[in-house]
């Protein structure tokens, strides 16, 4: 009988803090994998893309480890990876609960596997003294393996659902969401009052500060300053906070500190004093601003999605629009642009700088235009005379 590794031998990702930031390392049986970590270290993609690729590679190594196969040894020695092994690995990468994942997810995972295979091929070509025939053999081998993976992925990419893009919500739609999620609302789908207040604070912070979903769940109580001029900060989290959940949430780009209205600051103060301790539970210690009632640790990204999905079910009975954290982020940045455009003295350069800071983007990022295209369109329509100016005028 063939020996199969136990669960504790499943590959894991270790987060190492370096001068350039936090970097993932893939471990197999507590030992760093050589080729995978060389590949991760060579990736030129953004940190969030690199981290996603590393998670995809972990799933690949997980499958071959469960089959008692040393994947790196197979690749280095140009040993055959069978069709059944490829199909099994891709099933693990692309199927959940019997259904193919979204096309975008399957496509990204295919790109991660391709990138890994090409990195291993380049490593062999650069470190081995190979004859002309051996060089040809390496090229043929990796081309065949890549084609086999691409073929297996294609089935799931074709089956997977297309991504549904979030749009900017109208003021009426935002008002409806606030009405449903208000802690006192009879339409609120959550029973616990403490959870209702927490969820309403999540909504209000999402609308005020435009955090990414991952940044929202990583907020800690120390990120709030409710004295004097109240502010909320989005900053680099500690590895301990990141590692509390498997979602690998992380700060993706720039840190920021934004002012809060006195009304929102008062709401958050009430939540911290009266509701958050109930969510954490007695005897637990947690720094998470928005903890889970299950263990007092921070919420995961998927928990935020499920939260808004339950609210969306209520919305579906009276309206038809998609509620998603990404849509709230786009709405927040668009509304901020409209407010800033109403300041006649603001220059275009200052407008872009302020919006970049508000969204947590690098100053030269194109995301400002992408996220606020609705406000840009309305401004162009006013300039061309297709739309009347709002009261007070707009830049």
pLDDT at 163: 57
Q: Of the candidates 198, 259, 273, which has an alpha carbon nearest to the alpha carbon of residue 225?
A: 259
Average pLDDT, the chain: 86
Average pLDDT over residues 378-389: 60
- pLDDT class for 365, splitting at 50, 70, 90? confident
pLDDT at 95: 92
Q: Check whether 380 has a pLDDT greater than 70.
A: no
Cα–Cα distance, 60 to 262 (Å, whole number): 50
Q: Check whether 280 has a pLDDT greater than 50.
A: yes
Q: Of the candidates 274, 264, 287, which has an alpha carbon nearest to the alpha carbon of residue 201?
A: 264
C-alpha separations of 134 from 77, 115, 118, 129 in Å? 12, 22, 17, 9
pLDDT at 384: 62
Q: Check whether 395 has a pLDDT greater than 50.
A: no
The tokens describing 123, both together, are 């490593």
pLDDT at 7: 39
**What is the number of other CB atoms lying within 10 angstroms of the CB of residue 187?**
14
DSSP state of 1: -
pLDDT at 233: 94
- pLDDT class for 14, splitting at 50, 70, 90? confident
In tens, the pLDDT along 310-328 reads 999 999 877 778 888 989 9
**What is the number of other CB atoms lying within 10 angstroms of the CB of residue 247?**
18
The tokens describing 362, both together, are 């690098």
Q: Of the candidates 237, 255, 230, which has an alpha carbon nearest to the alpha carbon of residue 298?
A: 237
231-234 and 224-225: which strand pairing?
Answer: antiparallel
pLDDT at 87: 96
Cα–Cα distance, 58 to 300 (Å, whole number): 20
In tens, the pLDDT along 46-95 reads 767 888 899 999 999 999 999 999 999 999 999 999 999 999 999 999 99
Question: Are the C-beta atoms of 288 and 202 separated by less than 8 Å?
Answer: no
231-234 and 256-259: which strand pairing?
Answer: antiparallel
Cα–Cα distance, 159 to 155 (Å, whole number): 6
In residues, how long is the chain? 395
Q: Check whether 256 has a pLDDT greater than 60.
A: yes
In tens, the pLDDT along 92-143 reads 999 988 888 888 899 999 999 999 999 999 999 999 999 999 999 999 999 9
Q: Check whether 5 has a pLDDT greater than 50.
A: no
Q: Which residues pair with 96 in a beta bridge?
A: 99
Cα–Cα distance, 383 to 213 (Å, whole number): 35
Q: Which range, of 198-207, 238-247, 260-269, averages the lowest pLDDT? A: 238-247
Cα–Cα distance, 342 to 389 (Å, whole number): 10
C-alpha separations of 118 from 54, 75, 114, 358 in Å? 15, 11, 6, 39
Query: What burial class does residue 109 get, using C-beta atoms within 10 Å of its C-beta: 0-12 exposed, 13-18 middle, 19+ buried?
Result: buried
Query: What burial class does residue 60 get, using C-beta atoms within 10 Å of its C-beta: 0-12 exposed, 13-18 middle, 19+ buried?
Result: buried
Cα–Cα distance, 312 to 309 (Å, whole number): 5
Q: What is the dihedral of CA 333, 336, 338, 344, to 10 degrees?
A: -140
In tens, the pLDDT along 135-189 reads 999 999 999 999 999 999 999 999 876 655 668 899 999 999 999 999 999 999 9
Q: Which single residue is written with the structure tokens 């990583």?
A: 218
Question: Are the C-beta atoms of 284 and 244 separated by less than 8 Å?
Answer: no
Question: Are the C-beta atoms of 102 and 161 separated by less than 8 Å?
Answer: yes
């Amino acid at each position: 009988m063939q020996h199969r590794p136990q669960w504790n031998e499943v590959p894991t990702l270790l987060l190492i803090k370096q001068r350039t930031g936090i970097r993932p390392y893939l471990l197999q049986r507590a030992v760093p994998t050589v080729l995978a970590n060389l590949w991760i270290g060579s990736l030129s993609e953004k940190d969030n893309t690199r981290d996603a690729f590393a998670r995809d590679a972990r799933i690949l190594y997980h499958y071959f480890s469960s089959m008692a196969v040393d994947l790196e040894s197979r690749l280095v020695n140009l040993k055959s990876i069978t069709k059944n092994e490829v199909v099994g690995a891709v099933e693990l990468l692309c199927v959940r609960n019997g259904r193919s994942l979204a096309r975008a997810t399957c496509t990204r995972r295919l790109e991660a596997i391709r990138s890994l295979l090409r990195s291993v091929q380049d490593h062999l070509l650069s470190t081995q003294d190979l004859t002309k025939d051996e060089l040809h053999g390496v090229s043929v081998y990796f081309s065949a393996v890549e084609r086999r993976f691409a073929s297996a992925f294609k089935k799931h990419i074709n089956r997977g659902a297309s991504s549904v893009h979030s749009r900017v919500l109208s003021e009426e739609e935002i008002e409806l969401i606030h009405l449903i999620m208000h802690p006192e609302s009879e339409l609120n789908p959550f029973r616990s009052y403490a959870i209702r207040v927490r969820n309403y604070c999540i909504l209000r912070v999402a609308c005020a500060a435009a955090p990414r979903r991952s940044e929202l769940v990583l907020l800690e109580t120390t990120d709030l300053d409710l004295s004097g001029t109240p502010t909320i900060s989005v900053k680099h989290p500690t590895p301990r906070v990141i590692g509390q959940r498997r979602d690998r949430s992380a700060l993706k780009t720039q840190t920021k500190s934004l002012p809060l209205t006195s009304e929102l600051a008062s709401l958050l103060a009430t939540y911290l004093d009266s509701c958050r301790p109930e969510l954490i539970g007695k005897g637990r210690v947690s720094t998470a601003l928005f903890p889970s009632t299950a263990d007092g640790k921070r919420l995961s990204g998927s928990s935020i999605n499920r939260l808004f999905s339950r609210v969306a079910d209520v919305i579906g009975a009276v309206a038809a629009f998609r509620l998603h954290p990404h849509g709230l982020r786009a709405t927040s940045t668009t509304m901020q642009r409209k407010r800033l455009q109403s300041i006649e003295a603001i220059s275009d350069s200052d407008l872009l700088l302020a919006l970049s800071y508000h969204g947590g983007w690098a100053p030269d990022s194109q995301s400002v235009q992408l996220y606020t295209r609705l406000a840009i369109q309305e401004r162009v329509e006013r300039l061309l005379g297709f739309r009347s100016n709002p009261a007070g005028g707009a830049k």
